[in-house]
Amino acid sequence: MTDKPIRVTVWNEFIHERTCESTRMIYPDGIHAVLSAAIREQLGAAVEVRTATLDQPENGLTAEILARTDVLAWWGHAAHDQVSDAVVERVHQRVLEGMGFLALHSTHASKIFRRMMATSCMLRWREAAEKERVWIVDPSHPIVDGLEGEFFELPQVEMYGEFFDIPRPDELITISWFEGGEVFRSGCTFRRGKGKIFYFSPGHEAFPLYYDANVRKIIANAVRWAAPRGSSYVGDGRNIEPSLSPIAAKHVVDESLHAHLKK
Ligand code: ZN
């Protein structure tokens, strides 16, 4: 692994914070500002964090910015449709090349997440300020490094419940239980191409969830986990003639083999 800092871009649609007074009180500079601060606080010099928002040119995600992004964290809810298809295509391509992707909270319904999952990604929800108990079901996973105990609790959340229409996750890291009785696969990993994807559900805009120490730790751990690793291969499907090693001359169609198969 390289010693270079992980280049993180935190993307936020940045709408609720400008249109809803109660959200503005929790996140006066936007959810992206609090997420960035959390990642910097946890990872220090190991990261370089920038932010991007929907209202910027090319939705803040130009080819140049994405080329310099190792991990993209995404928060969207009210304006999934306003993200341009060209940007979705570009983000998807970068994930296949190895860029990590953190899908936060209502990002489950974003164009990019649904495209990568190829399912509806729909779920059930309820806004009743109920308690969530987040059970750690993969305690040796790097995404839960440093968390204490078997679970942690969030006093007031929006409930997200099963059935969550996602493909079977590669790894299930957390399962949440809610006061009203539902359960939810709240922390899931996927791989697409060389890219690592982590979906994490706590993060509703009406509650200060991104100030919670456990949530912050999980998101920072996920940045480190999702950072590109491995070989330089980038999935460039291509014809590889001539071969690396000599291949003895063969008939393309061997008549004797055909005769043998017809017996
Ligand atoms: Zn929400």
User: pLDDT tens digits for 126-142?
Assistant: 999 999 999 999 999 99
237 contacts: CB under 8 Å, gap ≥ 6: none
| Residue 75 CA, ligand 1 centroid: distance in Å | 10
100-104 and 151-161 strand pairing: unpaired
CA distance 62 to 111: 17
Mind listing the pLDDT tens digit for each residue in 181-240?
999 999 999 999 999 999 999 999 999 999 999 999 999 999 999 999 999 887 778 898
| Residue 191 CA, ligand 1 centroid: distance in Å | 25
Q: What pLDDT was estimated at residue 251?
A: 65
Q: What is the CATH number of the domain that holds 80?
A: 3.40.50.880
Report which DSSP code applies to 243.
P
Q: Please, are residues 15 and 54 in contact by the beta-carbon 8 Å criterion? A: yes
Residue 261 has pLDDT above 80, yes or no: no
* Enclosing domain of residue 174: 6-262
Is 1 inside a domain boundary?
no
Instruction: Kindly indicate the confidence band of residue 249, based on its pLDDT and cuts at 50, 70 and 90.
Output: confident
User: What is the tally of structural domains in the chain?
Assistant: 1
| Residue 17 CA, ligand 1 centroid: distance in Å | 13
CA distance 92 to 102: 13
More confident residue, 195 or 250: 195
Is 20 inside a domain boundary?
yes
CA distance 205 to 20: 10
Is 180 inside a domain boundary?
yes
Question: Is residue 22 exposed (0-12), middle (13-18) or buried (19+ Cβ within 10 Å)?
Answer: exposed
171 closest CA partner among 134, 200, 206: 200
| pLDDT, averaged across the chain | 95
Q: What pLDDT was estimated at residue 9?
A: 98
13 contacts: CB under 8 Å, gap ≥ 6: 53, 54, 75, 76, 77, 78, 79, 80, 82, 83
| Residue 229 CA, ligand 1 centroid: distance in Å | 32
Q: What pLDDT was estimated at residue 236?
A: 79
| Residue 33 CA, ligand 1 centroid: distance in Å | 18
Beta strands (DSSP E) in 116-228 are: 124-136, 151-161, 171-178, 183-192, 195-200
Q: Which two tokens stand for residue 10?
A: 């935190």
More confident residue, 234 or 248: 248
| Residue 100 CA, ligand 1 centroid: distance in Å | 23
| Residue 157 CA, ligand 1 centroid: distance in Å | 8
Helices 31-43, 213-226: crossing angle, 10 deg rounding = 70
Mind listing the pLDDT tens digit for each residue in 39-75?
999 999 999 999 999 999 999 999 999 999 999 999 9
Token match 């043998």: residue? 260
CA distance 37 to 29: 11
| Residue 255 CA, ligand 1 centroid: distance in Å | 65
Mind listing the pLDDT tens digit for each residue in 3-43?
799 999 999 999 999 999 999 999 999 999 999 999 999 99
Is 226 inside a domain boundary?
yes
Q: What pLDDT was estimated at residue 213?
A: 98
